[in-house]
């Protein structure tokens, strides 16, 4: 009786194992679709690998991304893919065959984001609070669909958080000696190499680039200069006196966690001009200078000894318009059209200069500016100081990588609404932003660390 019981038990165990094995196989075969993204807590400038698994094999799918920015506007992108025999799709390997972008673009869902509805295309995506992540919802839909026209069946989704500030980066508001800025310090005691960071016209204090630089090991001071010292009834005018930028540079240089002899300056657009102008002052001796889409001089007249300027909109002689009524400012910044007293005396430059331009820039005459700088520095025997990178198809605002591009943007509402043509095309501009950021970090590594 005991022998028979053991045999029966063994048969039951074998049957159970066979049954559970089949159950496991069926469970694997019918696994729930899964979407993954690595790394899990990336910085904005890091490439993410997005993979879909357990999807129907050899089937069309649509990947969608959407984000609601801090102004409450919704931005979306989508791309059509085809799964392989294993039912997987890998954005770092596979090509999009339609949608917001084409080809193998691992980060296309991010730089391809556009405001919805399309009528809001004059908006730009701006991150105001860099201490919170940029949160993107990525989903997979059945079939090749256009999300705006109708939703397909959602197979799976994932939420991705991307950060400007790495863990341990410190953000410090600065309001002293008339200077308004935000200081970002990397983790640790330092001292750190540092950058003075200047943005362009049309915005107040922009902290995104400085936060990223601190995440890469550089102390960075994001300096505000718009709307300050508007005394004497000169509303809507800027005060861009030399002393303000000199004081900001020295404040950064004198910080106890900054290497005083390893401080550079970076500027975008009009901030590029201010960076150039500040760097050639005898009281300021930066270790390096980076100018992104910057003019070779001031587009506005200085109206008093304190450096206050007239309204940029006051001189419209060189403005031109496209067929949609968007303004091109490019001709206003041609070297021959700039205010003589505002031209940068680049021959006085004493530190390495990295000059980055987009060849479809409709705001700044970057190409002509680069040629002028090259010729002037050559004549002064300083060609070795000049490095120029020019990007075909790129527009004006070349930001850190994977940032959505706006070909047109709302410039101002007062006294009248002005929409500016920034230029650039989505895919080439994305290439420019990714490559230019690498060049910037390499340039800083050479001139501030070695």
Domain ranges of the chain: 34-162, 170-449
**pLDDT for 25:** 36
**pLDDT for 408:** 87
Do the beta carbons of residue 242 and residue 277 sit within 8 Å?
A: yes
**pLDDT for 301:** 62
> What is the secondary structure of 358-373 as a DSSP string?
ETT-SSS-HHHHHHHH
* Domains 34-162 and 170-449 fall in the same CATH topology: no
**pLDDT for 233:** 38
Q: How many angstroms separate the CA atoms of 363 and 114, rounded? A: 21
Q: How many angstroms separate the CA atoms of 194 and 189, rounded? A: 14
**pLDDT for 325:** 84
Start-to-end CA span in the chain (Å): 85
Q: Which of 318, 418, 398 is nearest to 356 (CA)?
A: 398
Do the beta carbons of residue 88 and residue 53 sit within 8 Å?
A: yes
Third-level CATH fold of 34-162: Immunoglobulin-like (2.60.40)
| Mutual angle of helices 242-253 and 270-279, in 10-degree steps | 70
pTM of the predicted protein model: 0.87
**pLDDT for 297:** 84
**pLDDT for 17:** 45
Third-level CATH fold of 170-449: Rossmann fold (3.40.50)
Q: Which of 6, 9, 154, 148 is nearest to 76 (CA)?
A: 148
**pLDDT for 235:** 42
Q: How many angstroms separate the CA atoms of 390 and 283, rounded? A: 31
Chain segment 258-268, per-residue pLDDT in tens = 999 999 999 99
**pLDDT for 10:** 45
**pLDDT for 9:** 44
Helix count and strand count (H, E) for the chain: 7, 21
Low-confidence residues of the chain, pLDDT below 70?
1-30, 118-121, 150-151, 202-203, 227-239, 300-315, 413-415
Which residues participate in catalysis according to the annotation? 269, 361, 396
Tally Cβ neighbours within 10 Å of residue 282. Answer: 8
**pLDDT for 154:** 92
Tell me what percent of the chain is helix, strand and coil, each rounded to the nearest 5: 25, 30, 45
**pLDDT for 318:** 80
């Amino acid at each position: 009786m005991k022998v028979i019981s053991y045999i029966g038990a063994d048969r039951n165990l074998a049957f159970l194992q066979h049954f559970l094995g089949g159950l496991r196989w069926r469970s694997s075969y019918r696994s729930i679709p899964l979407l993954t993204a690595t790394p899990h807590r990336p910085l904005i400038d890091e490439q993410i690998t997005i993979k879909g698994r357990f999807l129907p094999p050899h089937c069309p799918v649509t990947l969608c991304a959407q984000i609601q920015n801090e102004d409450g506007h919704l931005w979306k992108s989508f791309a059509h893919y085809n799964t392989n025999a294993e039912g997987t799709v890998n954005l770092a390997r596979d090509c999009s065959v339609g949608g917001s972008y084409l080809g193998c673009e691992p980060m296309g869902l991010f730089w391809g984001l556009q405001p919805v509805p399309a009528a809001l295309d004059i908006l730009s995506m701006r991150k105001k609070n860099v201490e919170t992540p940029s949160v993107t919802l990525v989903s997979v839909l059945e079939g090749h669909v256009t999300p705006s026209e109708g939703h397909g069946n959602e197979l799976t989704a994932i939420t991705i958080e991307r950060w400007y500030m790495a863990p341990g980066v410190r953000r410090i508001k600065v309001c002293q000696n008339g200077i308004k800025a935000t200081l970002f310090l990397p983790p640790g005691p330092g001292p750190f190499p540092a950058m003075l960071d200047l943005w362009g016209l049309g915005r107040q204090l922009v902290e995104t680039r400085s936060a990223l630089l601190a995440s890469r090991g550089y102390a960075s001071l994001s300096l505000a200069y718009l709307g300050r010292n508007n005394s004497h009834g000169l509303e809507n005018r800027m005060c861009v006196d030399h002393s303000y930028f000199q004081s900001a540079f020295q404040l950064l240089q004198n910080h106890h966690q900054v290497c005083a002899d390893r401080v550079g300056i970076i500027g975008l657009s009009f901030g590029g001009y201010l960076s150039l102008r500040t760097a050639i002052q005898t009281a300021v001796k930066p270790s390096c200078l980076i100018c992104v889409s910057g003019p070779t001089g001031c587009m506005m007249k200085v109206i008093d000894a304190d450096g206050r300027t007239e309204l940029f909109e006051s001189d419209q002689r060189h403005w031109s318009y496209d067929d949609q009524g968007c303004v091109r400012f490019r001709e206003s910044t041609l070297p021959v059209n700039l205010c003589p007293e505002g031209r940068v005396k680049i021959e006085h430059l004493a530190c390495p200069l990295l000059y980055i331009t987009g060849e479809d820039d409709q705001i700044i005459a970057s190409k002509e500016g680069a040629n002028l700088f090259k010729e002037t520095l050559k004549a002064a025997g300083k060609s070795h100081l000049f490095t120029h990178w020019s990007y075909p198809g790129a527009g004006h605002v070349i930001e850190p990588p994977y940032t959505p591009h706006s070909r047109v943007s709302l410039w101002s509402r007062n006294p009248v609404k002005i929409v500016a043509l920034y230029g650039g095309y989505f895919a080439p501009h994305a290439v420019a932003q990714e490559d230019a950021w690498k060049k910037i970090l390499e340039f800083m590594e050479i001139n501030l660390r070695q």
